[in-house]
Amino acid sequence: MVQLRRKACRELDVKLYRHDHHITRIVAGSKGEGFTTTFESDTDIVMLYNYAVCKTPGDDSLTFPNTHFKFTMDSEHCHPGHFKLELTHTGTTEDSNIQQALFVHDNGKTYVSSEKYRTTFIKDKTQETVSGPAITGCNAFQSWDNVNAFRCTSQQPLLSQWMSRPRHHNWPNPDLIKEVSKLEAQMVPVGCKSSEHKDNEWRVCFILSEQRLTDSWNKNQYRIYILLKLIKKSLLKPISDEISSYLMKNIMLWFTEQNPAKIFKKIYLLQNVISCLKSLQDAIKSNDLPYYMIPDRNLLTGRINPEQQRQLIEKLEELIEEGPSVILRCPKVCAALQMSLVELTKKGCWKDKIEKLYLERMNIRLSYWSPGMTYDDVIQLAKKNPQYNSLYVRINDIVWPQWREYDGSDKSNVIDRKFFDALP
């Protein structure tokens, strides 16, 4: 299922903007990595504007046409991994969002404000809010974070320390390091929380690089990460919203690099989870969790107040002392263990079948989408496809075998709800 979700998400990214070379769409986070089901968590979507390019000073390895907006990354007085973006060339491609965010600094140079750029994408202040670099939205069944970003083509200078640091356990191996270093980075509109210039700073991300690294994890490695996410959600996030899946992913990336492959066996799964919780506790004690790709960037800077720090340390101490049975505190694990093996296997196959059919149907539906179309326009076109309609019937038959006999006016909503409940 992990492989299938990855394939479906990445094929969809290509399909949706196949007619628009200006934009590349990337489903990021756990959805893009294939580690969560369809409605299990927020969907993180990055809209990458290909005509806005950022480079470090002196990096002339690539040239771009006059249609592109070109920015130089200025790290002066910025926290590691954050930059001010100086406009060095105004592109001929029309982009009002960029134009609205430009400002002239006291030094006479023109920069683009991350805060102004981010807020230009808010269309409905009653329905959308800002969260970090993202504009968040939701409907009755799912929520999403949309991030509008620029290309960063200086990933190799930025990753020089990551590429060259000693590795004692051959992960990532030299071929994977080389492959990762060729994948462009992204500049997202958010500054460092503790910076007085945060409204004008941008953060560099390595979304595709991180995806390639998590793609290389074996089943026993990504199971650790999935369990860490469950513990985070149930036991740590209530103390602080800042304890995110992204922090857990960085803990796991470091853990994978710093330990021999022989420990990543099924028999050691829960011991490895506890080891990762110890690493997280150490990071919170020191208020320092180095970003895996740029270790000089501290992922905890300005994020956890002293009272949250105290509570998190105490909670993690409690969980570590409890040992492997800590996973019994996660509602999903507990519910699964209350089933017989036959019942659990049957339910798992049932859910997988629904999700496979849904992903297939979603890809058909969104293959009809093009910029400017409404949701209803897309649906009407998709309904002309016999395969799309056949999948609709097959899904309904699984989640609600009696759907044909129901005559209520809310039939469509009932079907949607039953489907949503099937894939929490």
Whether 217-338 and 1-216 are alike in CATH topology: the answer is: no
CATH of 217-338, one of 1.10.132.20, 1.10.10.10, 1.10.1410.40, 1.10.275.10: 1.10.1410.40
Give the tokens for residue 251.
């803990």
**What is the CB neighbour count within 10 angstroms for residue 407?**
6
| Separation of alpha carbons 249 and 229, rounded Å | 9
Per-residue pLDDT of the chain (424 residues; tens, 9 = 90+): 999 999 999 999 988 888 888 999 999 999 999 999 888 888 999 999 999 999 999 998 889 999 999 999 999 999 999 999 999 999 999 999 999 999 999 999 999 999 999 999 998 877 788 999 999 988 777 888 999 999 999 999 999 999 999 999 999 999 999 999 999 999 999 999 889 999 999 999 999 999 999 999 999 999 999 999 999 999 999 999 999 999 999 999 999 999 999 999 999 999 999 999 999 999 999 999 999 999 999 999 999 999 999 999 999 999 999 999 999 999 999 999 999 999 999 999 999 999 999 999 999 999 998 888 888 999 999 999 999 999 999 999 999 999 999 999 999 889 988 988 888 7
Q: What is the pTM of this model?
A: 0.94
Report residue 369: phi and psi, to 5°: -80, 145
Domain 1-216 has CATH 3.30.460: yes
Termini Cα distance of the chain? 15
Where along the chain do its domains lie?
A: 1-216, 217-338, 340-422
